């Protein structure tokens, strides 16, 4: 029998050895804040049940000069997805859920646009992004619709791939998985995660909304870069798709999450998720695209709530997150029983990745890779992007980089103005303003510039999109519909909004 005291002493000795490998880490993180114009960041490292590193850097409130601490709350964005997968794994352990039983068995009213997906989609498919749906982000982004309404709207969202044919990152489907988890427990996803993960892990500071985060005493404000300026931006509520990305947490809580992961579902001697289901989550389920494709990271797969990649010959499990003004990275080196979390309050920041990879290099005894140069190349000389979301932003930029020359309208403005509807996306308003024609979806205003032949260039500044939308004008010289390519994945059709009669306008 192994002596627990000797095991503890051995772990402490190993932890001290790891700490000795991190000399100069403070300086590196500070240099990264300067390199990437970051506002603040927080970094923690665990080894088994020991905390190796736990520090804040920069500012949580730049204007007030308030510094980041280990207790500062950050939005963790899509790093939330691993919590949703863990909550599902607990239900599998309880016998309430099976990874491979169709969702329709549990939710008879569940329906996808694709009839095959309707009948066969499982929670495993949902949690490894192989539903056949492209992103359809404008369905939920800034939408006032409830979670239930968004789940119902899945039946109106057109796929661009056959079911299980290709990995495609999908926030709404992930949200639906969380909705199913709440349904099976007779409550909400938030309540399930709170009772089965937050409470037993003593993650007492973690919250599910930015509204509640702002009621706390120590939280980070969101910032973005405008040129060399760091500009505070509004918090973005993502409550409707909470299971995809609404958790807010700090280093104190996230170190518990890391320890639970590296110890295969065990926390302080108690098993919260069986080793069998932890293995399911941490195992490749679907080949996926890597935003870091390089000799260090040659291939990539998605598990359940995690990305699995070999990092320089070592097993790595990780997931990043990004919502307006925040970015995160949670990473595990399972063979070494090491966990790393990096939180940031700068929009689209790559600091969580450059810092996490640098830490891995140091702890693994490898010559550090120049990830700064790599990311500058990946992002077009430093243009920030939400790399963890696996969107080929550069391809999108190339596709829509050049705006067509603006022309004068061939028809009266009244031909185009009105309310148009898509059953999945909702109402699209086209109206005249002092600055010309604009369109509005989910209370997001998008300027329209005419480019000829009933075609307009629509600008969605937040995403950096410049898209062509085309009106179909009938014999009565009134636009009957407008199509907008809101879905940028290959093979995706434009979203067609049909004009509503006056009697149906809200």
DSSP string across 43-66: EEEEETTEEEEEEEEEEEETTTTE
E-only strand ranges, 124-279: 223-226, 229-232, 248-249, 266-267, 270-271
pLDDT of residue 397: 38
Q: Is the pLDDT of residue 399 over 70?
A: no
Q: Based on the domain organization, do 405 and 385 belong to the same domain? A: no
For 144-156, what is the mean pLDDT? Answer: 95
Q: Which of 390, 424, 446 is the last residue of a domain?
A: 390
- Secondary structure (DSSP) of 286-321: EE---TT-SSSS---EE-SSSEEEEETTEEEEEEEE
Asked if the structure places residue 499 within a domain, the reply is yes
Q: Using DSSP, state whether 65 is helix, strand or coil.
A: coil
Answer yes or no: do 227 and 359 share one domain. Answer: yes
Both tokens of 155, joined, read 């039946």
In degrees rounded to 5, what are phi and psi of residue 355? -70, -45
Tokens found for residue 411: 């028809």
Which stretch of 71-75, 80-84, 290-294, 399-403 has the lowest confidence by average pLDDT?
Answer: 399-403
Considering the domain architecture, whether residues 306 and 416 belong to the same structural domain is answered as no
Rounded CA-CA distance 364/358 in Å is 10
Residues of the chain with pLDDT > 90, as a percent, come to 82
Asked whether residue 71 is assigned to any structural domain, the reply reads yes
**Domain edge (last residue) among 390, 421, 448:** 390
pTM for the full predicted model = 0.91
* Tokens (6 digits) for 413: 């403005």
What b/e sequence results for 93-132 when a residue is b if at least 16 CB atoms lie within 10 Å of its CB, and e otherwise? beeebebeebbbebeeebbbbbeebbebbbbbbbbbbbbb
CA distance 457 to 506: 26
131 domain-assigned: no
Task: Dump strand ranges (E) for 111-180.
Answer: none
CATH of the domain at 215: 3.40.710.10
Write down the pLDDT at residue 192. Answer: 98
Q: How confident is the model at residue 290 (pLDDT cuts 50, 70, 90)?
A: confident
Q: 376 pLDDT band (50/70/90 cuts)?
A: confident
Which tokens hold the place of 32?
């990264």
- Token pair of 427, please? 């109402």
Whether 150 is covered by a domain: the verdict is no
Q: Is pLDDT at 406 greater than 60 in this prediction?
A: no
Indicate if 230 and 306 belong to the same structural domain: yes
Residue 179 has pLDDT above 60, yes or no: yes
Tell me which DSSP letter residue 215 carries. T
Q: How many structural domains are present in the chain?
A: 2
Among 2, 200, 209, 174, CA closest to 90: 200
In this predicted structure, the answer to whether residue 264 has a pLDDT above a threshold of 70 is yes
Residue 14 scores a pLDDT above 90? no
- Range 276-303 average pLDDT: 92
Same domain, 270 and 326: yes
Q: Is residue 151 part of a domain?
A: no
Residues in the chain: 506
Range of the structural domain that residue 73 is part of: 8-91+178-390
Assign 86 to helix, strand or coil: helix
Average pLDDT, the chain: 91
Please give the radius of gyration of the chain, using alpha carbons only, rounded to the nearest integer: 24
Q: What pLDDT, on a 0 to 100 scale, did the predictor assign at position 506?
A: 56
Residue 76 and residue 191 in one domain: yes
What pLDDT score does 92 carry?
98
Q: Is the pLDDT of residue 156 over 80?
A: yes
- Which position has the token pair 């930015």? 210
397's enclosing H/E stretch is helix 393-400
Unique residue bearing structure tokens 């932003």: 393
189 part of a folded domain: yes
**Could you say which DSSP state residue 177 is in?**
H
**Are both 364 and 422 inside the same structural domain?**
no
Do residues 332 and 458 share a domain?
no
User: Are 410 and 366 members of one domain?
Assistant: no
Question: Minimum mean pLDDT among 5-9, 202-206, 311-315, 483-487: which range?
Answer: 5-9
Q: 3-state class of 400 per DSSP? A: helix
Q: How confident is the model at residue 1 (pLDDT cuts 50, 70, 90)?
A: very low
Asked whether residue 287 falls in the same domain as residue 244, the answer is: yes
Claim to verify: residue 444 and residue 305 sit in the same structural domain: no
Checking if the pLDDT of 8 tops 80, the result is: no
Which has more pLDDT, 460 or 79?
A: 79
For residue 20, being part of any structural domain is answered with yes
pLDDT band at 462 (very low <50, low <70, confident <90, very high): confident
Q: Mark which of 390, 422, 441 sits at the end of a domain.
A: 390
Whether the predicted pLDDT of 117 surpasses 60: yes
pLDDT at 382: 32
- pLDDT attached to residue 7: 54
pLDDT at 187: 98
**Do 448 and 369 fall into the same domain?**
no
User: pLDDT (tens digit, 9 = 90+) per residue, 36-58?
Assistant: 999 999 999 999 999 999 999 99
């Amino acid at each position: 029998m192994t002596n627990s005291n000797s095991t503890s002493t051995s772990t402490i000795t190993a932890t001290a050895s790891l700490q000795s490998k991190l000399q100069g880490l403070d300086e590196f993180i500070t240099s990264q804040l300067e390199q990437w114009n970051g506002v603040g960041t927080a970094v923690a490292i665990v080894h088994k049940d020991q905390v190796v590193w736990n520090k804040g850097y920069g500012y949580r409130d730049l204007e007030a000069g308030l510094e980041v601490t280990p207790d500062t709350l950050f939005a963790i964005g899509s790093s939330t997805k691993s919590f949703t997968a863990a909550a599902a794994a607990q239900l599998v352990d309880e016998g309430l859920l099976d990874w491979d039983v169709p969702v329709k068995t549990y939710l008879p009213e569940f329906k996808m646009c694709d009839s095959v997906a309707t009948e066969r989609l499982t929670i495993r498919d949902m949690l490894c992004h192989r539903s056949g749906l492209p992103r359809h982000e404008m369905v939920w982004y800034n939408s006032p619709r409830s979670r239930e309404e968004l789940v119902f709207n899945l039946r109106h969202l057109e796929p661009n791939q056959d079911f299980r044919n290709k990995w495609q990152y999908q926030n709404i489907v992930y949200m639906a998985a969380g909705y199913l988890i709440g349904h099976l427990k007779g409550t909400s996803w938030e309540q399930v995660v709170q009772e089965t993960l937050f409470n037993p892990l003593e993650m007492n500071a973690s919250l599910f909304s930015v509204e509640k985060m702002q009621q706390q005493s120590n939280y980070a404000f969101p910032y973005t870069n405008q040129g060399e300026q760091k500009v505070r931006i509004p918090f973005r509520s993502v409550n409707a798709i909470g299971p995809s990305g609404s958790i807010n947490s700090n280093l104190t809580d996230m170190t518990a999450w890391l320890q639970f992961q590296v110890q295969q579902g065990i926390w302080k001697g108690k098993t919260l998720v069986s080793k069998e289901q932890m293995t399911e989550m941490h195992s490749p389920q679907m080949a996926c695209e890597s935003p870091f494709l390089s000799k260090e990271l040659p291939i990539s797969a998605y598990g359940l709530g995690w990305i699995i990649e070999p990092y320089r010959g070592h097993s790595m499990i990780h997931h990043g997150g990004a919502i307006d003004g925040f970015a995160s990275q949670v990473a595990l080196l399972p063979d070494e029983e090491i966990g790393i979390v990096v939180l940031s309050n700068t929009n689209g920041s790559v600091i969580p990745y450059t810092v996490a990879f640098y830490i891995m290099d140091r702890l693994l005894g490898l010559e550090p890779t120049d990830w700064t140069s790599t990311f500058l190349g990946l992002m077009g000389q430093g243009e920030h992007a939400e790399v963890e979301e696996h969107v080929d932003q550069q391809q999108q930029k190339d596709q829509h980089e050049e705006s067509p020359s603006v022309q004068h309208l061939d028809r009266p403005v009244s031909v185009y103005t009105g309310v148009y509807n898509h059953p999945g996306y909702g109402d699209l308003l086209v109206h005249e303003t002092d600055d010309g024609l604009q369109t509005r979806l989910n209370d997001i205003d998008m300027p329209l510039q005419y480019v000829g032949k009933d075609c307009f260039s629509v600008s969605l500044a937040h995403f950096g999109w410049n898209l062509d939308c085309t009106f179909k004008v009938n014999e009565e010289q009134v636009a009957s519909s407008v199509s907008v390519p809101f879905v940028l994945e290959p093979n995706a059709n434009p979203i067609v909004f049909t004009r509503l009669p006056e009697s149906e306008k809200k």
